[in-house]
Amino acid sequence: MKTKLAIFCVLALALGSICSALAIAQAPDPLPSWNDGKTKQAIIEFVEKVTTAGAPDFVPPAERIATFDNDGALWAEQPMYFQLAFALDRVKALAPEHPEWQGKEPFASLLKGDLKGALAGGEKAILEIVMATHAGMTTEEFEEIVTEWIASAKHPKTGKLYTEMVYQPMLELLAYLRSNGFKTFIVSGGGIEFMRPWTEKVYGIPPEQVVGSSIKTKYELRDGKPVLARLPELNFIDDKAGKPVGIHQYIGRRPIAAFGNSDGDLQMLQWTTAGKGARFALIVHHTDGDREWAYDRNSAVGRLDKALDEAKEKGWTVVDMKNDWKTVFP
Amino acid sequence: MKTKLAIFCVLALALGSICSALAIAQAPDPLPSWNDGKTKQAIIEFVEKVTTAGAPDFVPPAERIATFDNDGALWAEQPMYFQLAFALDRVKALAPEHPEWQGKEPFASLLKGDLKGALAGGEKAILEIVMATHAGMTTEEFEEIVTEWIASAKHPKTGKLYTEMVYQPMLELLAYLRSNGFKTFIVSGGGIEFMRPWTEKVYGIPPEQVVGSSIKTKYELRDGKPVLARLPELNFIDDKAGKPVGIHQYIGRRPIAAFGNSDGDLQMLQWTTAGKGARFALIVHHTDGDREWAYDRNSAVGRLDKALDEAKEKGWTVVDMKNDWKTVFP
């Protein structure tokens, strides 16, 4: 009886496998929002060569690490980084508790609606805004604040939720890589705790696969209850030369594929492609002024200059958003 | 034809599932090296209640995060942390390149075989030994050094490879949790890059699920080739109150189960159990002087004092190594 059951089970499982294989053979286009052409072809060729068992470029699933920049690569970043919009909204929300801000830059200009004046103070001004809005609460409180904002704040130009301004072709790319055994990570200059509350829902990327910039936290017992207090002190800047550092620190192995859109991603792309075996580097070039924004070498946000030159020199894949993408937003 | 194929496939897949379910129902004991008793029962009860769909304590797979200390919890730590043995071996190996060490503490004492004298300098001495042996090379070079050492160095008392001094019951526990949808992480005071080269092979824990102490690294182009240089500067100490900070920084969500053995794990256990819903905290109590070592409140290595008191007070699970474990090493 036992033998018969075993034979029966083996047969059933085998037939199931054949059916799964047939389903794969008949699978529809995994990247329907990408126009056919050399960009889409380059992506598919890379994925096929690293996932074909026995092929010279085969990579075991555990090593199929793919890293994605966020701002300008997975979601839009104009006319300002969305996290800056969050910080400005927080300054307005917190202003009643900070009467001193009325006479103190960069807050005074901000509260008068003069963004340019506020940002005239450069990095120091931005840092002050970030610390005033991102520190001084527990990690759980900050998560709630972000969750509430991301569910309600609207983009000034499109009127959409910010999470509706993610790129449909990139969502398909993330899913395509994962269905081929890749583990997808975000490696962003943005705040790690600003992204984690929503990346799983929006991108299918869980918190433990998000790398970003951070401030320090401190463990404390408050009335016997453990909390992590967010301190007004920088911990790590995950941008430019910080990206390979962040990748090494958080992931501990080199990606085989990396996706970015600006000079902030250059070192990540260099680090990724310098590894042994098949590697893939892709840059999203914002060329679509009608459906999105067109900008590169002279943009204050998401400047793409050195990385565009190096992409040409090294044969990295450059997405021409206008011609390569059928749709931009979902 | 297509419909018939579809019906056939659905049937085959369904039968396959039934067979898989039958196989699970007949599964052997998942923790064979654990003696039956209240410790083993507590583990199994927790896993069953968080994985039973529809039960009040059910936790979705994505949130089944389990964190493990390494030294004294997954592998032994006597008579000294194994990473210290590595550092001492490195001092000896590097001594020919550093003639000045002959007249400089803590190196002079070390090279004479006087460990106690070397460590008389306390934390400062240890830090000097760590920096002299862990910094000053690229990340790839360090990985090679660790890989070579871990494959050949032997424990002074048992004569075993250090990776043979992992705890068999804990290996079974890791596998049991993973087979129940848990994601297992290491959260250790040890060096993150000292562990990552071998944790996947030994524990089934990939590099990206290892959290530990670290020194800073810097991205550089050397002859056009990108490297990460290891700098003699502390980055993060993942011990005591640093453990919840490390968990938050790397994993970004609170574990539902945590496993440690010393006061260095106390805050991790507090942080884990303070979350909402079912939580599990376990301490490995080293009570077996015959098969391993017996130590707790007065040990310089892996002191277990405050955490033992708090475990009793809060009803955390305490492993009595002597009575709960059938075997210690594989």
pLDDT in tens, B169-201: 999 999 999 999 999 999 999 999 999 999 999
For residue B1, name the pLDDT band (cuts at 50, 70, 90): very low
Q: What is the mean pLDDT of residues B238-249?
A: 98
List, for residues A248-291, the tens digit of each pLDDT value. 999 999 999 999 999 999 999 999 999 999 999 999 999 999 99
- B210-222 vs B225-236, strand pairing mode: antiparallel
For residue B123, name the pLDDT band (cuts at 50, 70, 90): confident
Kindly report the nearest CA distance between residue A304 and chain B, in angstroms: 20
Comparing CB atoms, the residue among A23, A65, A226 nearest residue B271 is A226
Kindly report the nearest CA distance between residue B109 and chain A, in angstroms: 33
Q: Which residues of B touch A22 (CB under 8 A)?
A: 5, 9
Residues 6+ apart with CB under 8 A from B141: none
For residues A99 and B329, give the distance between their C-alpha atoms in angstroms, rounded to a whole number.
Answer: 64
**Which has the closest alpha carbon to A186: A299, A126, A268?**
A268
Structure tokens at B102: 């002959």
Query: Is B192 close to A270, i.e. CB distance below 8 A?
Result: no
Q: What is the mean pLDDT of chain B?
A: 93
Query: Is B210 close to A249, i.e. CB distance below 8 A?
Result: no
Least confident piece of the model among A20-29, A95-104, A226-235, B311-320: A20-29
Q: Which residues of A touch B244 (CB under 8 A)?
A: 219, 226, 228
Kindly report the nearest CA distance between residue A23 and chain B, in angstroms: 10
Comparing CB atoms, the residue among B62, B208, B249 nearest residue A252 is B208
Comparing CB atoms, the residue among A12, A200, A251 nearest residue B207 is A251
Q: Across the A/B interface, how many CB contacts are shorter than 8 Å?
A: 119
Q: Which residues of A touch B62 (CB under 8 A)?
A: 200, 206
For residues B259 and B105, give the distance between their C-alpha atoms in angstroms, rounded to a whole number.
Answer: 37
Task: Specify the DSSP element, H or E, that contains A11.
Answer: helix A2-25
Comparing CB atoms, the residue among A16, A228, A251 nearest residue B248 is A228
Kindly report the nearest CA distance between residue A292 and chain B, in angstroms: 32
First to last CA, chain B: 54
Q: Which residues of A touch B12 (CB under 8 A)?
A: 12, 15-16, 18-19
Query: Is B12 close to A9, i.e. CB distance below 8 A?
Result: no
Quick check: A55 and A49 in contact, CB under 8 A? Answer: yes
For residues B189 and B238, give the distance between their C-alpha atoms in angstroms, rounded to a whole number.
Answer: 5
First to last CA, chain A: 54
Comparing CB atoms, the residue among A12, A217, A248 nearest residue B248 is A217
For residues B130 and A260, give the distance between their C-alpha atoms in angstroms, rounded to a whole number.
Answer: 36
